[in-house]
Amino acid sequence: MKRVAVLISAFFFTLNLVAQKSEIVYSNPKDTNSNYYIAYKPSIEPIGLLLLLTSFGETPQNASKETNIQNIAAKNGLITVFASLQYGTQTFFIDSLSQSNIDKLIIYLQRKYSIMDKPLYLGGFSLGGSGVVKYAERANGSNSLVKPKAIFAIDPPLDFEKMYFSLEYALMHSKVDISKQEADYFIKRLQYEFQSTPYIDKTPFHSISPYSFSDTTQTNIKLLINCPIMLISEPDIMWQMEERNRSIYDLNTLDCSLVINSIRLLGNKNAKLVLTNNKGFRKLTGKKNPHSWSIAEAEETVNWLINFK
């Protein structure tokens, strides 16, 4: 609570945008790269909060140009926030420091916008989506964290042990430079974040990852039995093979299907898997990419969320 109080009492610089309907808030006016957020505010009394986490390497400004979720959510009465955490675009989202930042940010936002008694919803893309699932697990296993009413994640990696093996294969065999570069970076990043490899010790991969296929106790994922969750993925396997030299094993679609199936088997009747076709593209570049915000249909996503109150 002391850390929360420090955050809440910190000086915030606010720049109003778009006729007072949105604002960008910096925890430190001299730092425009980390610890800030963009809030989209409804014209009516807010009915709740939707916190959105970006992908690795993505700013809130760019994320807000790739999707219309924030505008649809605001029209439905939700204060919608794109957040940049402690390491800005290099934030890993599922690590303990990132999760602690999310904890404090949620409390700060609820108090700032006077919505402490209103529903919390979470959503995210890619690694931001991983952070959303991780937070929901922690919140549902804790009496001190705010429990989200519902969450969604767009093509998130969830099993980081599997991800490690996939990256190793890409580094050895891929003929696409971008795939090899990503593999080299993320192998090193995983070794740093988990302080191990799956060959040496799987324990941190089981404890930190939102989901682990090799963890037969389903320690983390069973915490979501009562949490409405929607995972969205576009398994464009031909594009992945031709453009990235990836197989179905390498896709986050596999993680998403395993998680939803596992949670449904555990008894969650509000666990939903959405598989899209030919919706993936980057608005900022105009290029096709099935790993994109665009695979989540904004109105359908928001309507699904606010069904849970």
134 and 217 inside one domain: yes
Q: Which domain holds residue 187?
A: 160-208
The pLDDT of residue 5 is 39
The pLDDT of residue 46 is 96
How would you class 2 by CB atoms within 10 Å of its CB: exposed for 0-12, middle for 13-18, buried for 19 or more? exposed
The pLDDT of residue 52 is 98
194 and 147 inside one domain: no
Mark which of 169, 187, 208 sits at the end of a domain. 208
60 and 183 inside one domain: no
36 and 103 inside one domain: yes
91 and 187 inside one domain: no
Mark which of 182, 208, 234 sits at the end of a domain. 208
At 170-221, the pLDDT tens digits run 999 999 999 999 999 999 999 999 999 999 999 999 999 999 999 999 999 9
The pLDDT of residue 21 is 85
226 and 114 inside one domain: yes
193 and 120 inside one domain: no
Weakly modelled stretches of the chain, pLDDT under 50? 1-20
User: In angstroms, rounded to a whole number, what is the distance separating the alpha carbons of residues 114 and 177?
Assistant: 48
28 and 173 inside one domain: no
Q: pTM here?
A: 0.93
234 and 265 inside one domain: yes
